[in-house]
Amino acid sequence: MSVKVAVAGASGYAGGELLRLLSAHPEVEIGALTAGGNAGTALGAHHPHLVPLAGRILVETTAEQLAGHDVVFLALPHGQSAGLAEQLGEDVTVIDCGADFRLTEAETWVEFYGGEHAGSWPYGLPELPGQRDKLRGSHRVAVPGCYPTVSTLALLPAVQRGLVDPTQLVVVAVSGTSGAGKAPKAHLLGAEVMGSASAYGVGGVHRHTPEIEQNLTPYAEGPVSVSFTPVLVPMSRGILATCSAPAVEGTDLAMLRQAYEEAYANEPFIHLLPEGQWPQTQATLGANTVQLQVTIDQRIGRVVVVAAMDNLTKGTAGAAVQCMNLATGLDETLALPLVGVAP
Ligand SMILES: NC(=O)C1=CN([C@@H]2O[C@H](COP(=O)(O)OP(=O)(O)OC[C@H]3O[C@@H](n4cnc5c(N)ncnc54)[C@H](OP(=O)(O)O)[C@@H]3O)[C@@H](O)[C@H]2O)C=CC1
Ligand SMILES: CC(=O)N[C@@H](CCC(=O)OP(=O)(O)O)C(=O)O
């Protein structure tokens, strides 16, 4: 079986990571590669690491260029996907790395993104209970945001088992700068980023806050609310999320570990580390994995979960390929590395 794929936004960070993974995919033929202003240039000018594809010329991002493929990956800025997806037939599998189709509630979309809500597609986090079946054979997939992926997976077993108060979730997550994309931004100039860590989107205003709540709500006994604080740190990729919540009376460490062991026992990409070993971003770099560790801060009765993930791999492109595998009936794990890059 050969799946012909196109990548829109191939010159960007998510597009580049998609092509790194797809280049090693045994069932994939790489078709059109598109860009915005960089259409007409060679892929290698943007991604010199993608050696076998370096000479490929980027074309304009139009429905015509994307037609004729089995799978179209959209790795474009928010707001660009809906118009293109509309013009692609229902028989084409469209996997959107952007946010346009992640949120189910129009009101929440308007509050956090502004503008019209395009709708919602099956959410590309196969590790959510029951979600795999919705992704198998689906022709539309909304790939999660990077922070929501790591935060949801870090908190889900504790929330689902009723071990924590789901109205008091706290996530503080540091991220490498590739999370912001490659387009120049004032707060991402070298001098601002190097040698400094800076919080942003503080106070419940970051757009990933409602996405985390949306993900956990179906598995909680009551309402879910999260205080989410992202922090930019001087590394190119990786997220380390520290997630905590008040422990429900009676929760002990053995119960907590058991909840995580059982929840992820059959998940190929989600790994609870041996006791005493704490996640590091480096161990997940370039891998489609999330590494987790749990404990209880007995002094104040809080469950604490630390999780590491590569924002560009499991946080975007790896998740997108995992969803393509599911949607097209391939082995879910094909072409997805378990092995990171270290040191
Ligand atoms: N970076 C990350 O960690 C994550 C990213 N995502 C999502 O993936 C998507 C891509 O992000 P990322 O790769 O980081 O962003 P980049 O800024 O690195 O890349 C954006 C890509 O879109 C193209 N593009 C920009 N504007 C237009 C346009 N008007 N028409 C057509 N193409 C255009 C760019 O082409 P050109 O080079 O010509 O400008 C480039 O190929 C976003 O929706 C983002 O939210 C999701 C999770 C994590
Ligand atoms: C470090 C950094 O800036 N990260 C990005 C999130 C990256 C991500 O998941 O992207 P989308 O939701 O945009 O797809 C941010 O906070 O906006």
* CATH number of the domain within which 253 lies: 3.30.360.10
Domain identity same for 49 and 167: no
pLDDT given at position 185? 75
Predicted confidence at residue 253, as pLDDT, reads 98
**Atom 3, ligand 2: which residue's CA is nearest?**
180
Q: Give the pLDDT of residue 160.
A: 98
Cα–Cα distance between 343 and 341 in angstroms, integer? 7
Which ligand is nearest to the Cα of residue 17, counting in written order? 1
335 domain-assigned:
no
Same domain, 44 and 10: yes
338 domain residue, yes or no: no
Question: According to the 3-state scheme, what is the secondary structure of the chain?
Answer: CCEEEEEECCCCHHHHHHHHHHHCCCCEEEEEEEECCCCCCEHHHHCCCCHHHCCCECEECCHHHHCCCCEEEECCCCCCHHHHHHHCCCCCEEEECCCCCCCCCHHHHHHHHCCCCCCCCCECCCCCCCHHHHHCCCCEEECCCHHHHHHHHHHHHHHHCCCECCCCEEEEEEECHHHHCCCCCHHHCHHHHCCCCEECCCCCCCCHHHHHHHHHHHHCCCCCCEEEEEEECCCCCCEEEEEEEEECCCCCHHHHHHHHHHHHCCCCCEEECCCCCCCCHHHHCCCCCEEEEEEEECCCCEEEEEEEECCCHHHHHHHHHHHHHHHCCCCCCCCCCCCCCCC
Tell me if 129 is assigned to some domain. Answer: yes
CATH of the domain at 102: 3.40.50.720
Q: Is residue 337 part of a domain?
A: no
Number of domains in the chain: 2
The verdict on 188 and 234 lying in the same domain is: yes
Burial of 136 (C-beta count, 10 Å sphere; 0-12/13-18/19+): middle
Residues 204 and 270 in one domain: yes
**Are both 17 and 104 inside the same structural domain?**
yes
Same domain, 126 and 27: yes
Q: Which domain holds residue 280?
A: 147-311
How far, in Å, CA of 255 to CA of 233, rounded?
A: 34
pLDDT (0 to 100) of residue 28: 98
At residue 193, the pLDDT reads 85
Other C-beta atoms within 10 Å of 341: how many? 12
163 and 89 co-located in one domain: no
**Domain-embedded: residue 155:** yes
Q: Is the CB of 311 under 6 A from ligand 1?
A: yes
List the residue whose alpha carbon is closest to atom 11 of ligand 2. Answer: 145
146 is an active site residue = yes
One domain, residues 178 and 72: no
State whether 169 and 271 are in the same domain: yes
Neighbours of 164 (CB within 10 A): 25
Q: Nearest to residue 150, comparing CAs of 67, 208, 109?
A: 208
One domain, residues 35 and 159: no
Ligand 1 nearest-atom number relative to CA 312: 3
78 CA to middle of ligand 1, Å?
8
Is 211 inside a domain boundary? Answer: yes
Q: Which of 102, 112, 146 to mutate to test the pocket of ligand 2 (most atoms within 8 A of CB)?
A: 146
- pLDDT digits (tens), the chain, 343 positions: 699 999 999 999 999 999 999 999 999 999 999 999 999 999 999 999 999 999 999 999 999 999 999 999 999 999 899 999 999 999 999 999 999 999 999 999 999 999 999 999 999 999 999 999 999 999 999 999 999 999 999 999 999 999 999 999 999 999 999 999 998 777 777 787 888 999 999 999 999 999 999 999 999 999 999 999 999 999 999 999 999 999 999 999 999 999 999 999 999 999 999 999 999 999 999 999 999 999 999 999 999 999 999 999 999 999 999 999 999 999 999 999 999 999 8
CA torsion angle 178 179 183 186 (round to 10): -100
The reply to whether 67 falls in a domain is: yes
Return the bridge partners of 242, or none. 172, 306
178 and 297, same domain (yes or no): yes
pLDDT at res. 192:
79
Q: Domain check: are 278 and 151 in the same one?
A: yes
Does residue 342 form part of some domain? no
In a mutational test of the pocket of ligand 2, which residue from 175, 236, 309 has the highest number of ligand atoms less than 8 Å from its CB? 175
Q: Is 149 in the pocket of ligand 1 (CB under 6 A)?
A: no
Centre of ligand 2 to C-alpha 254, Å, is 35
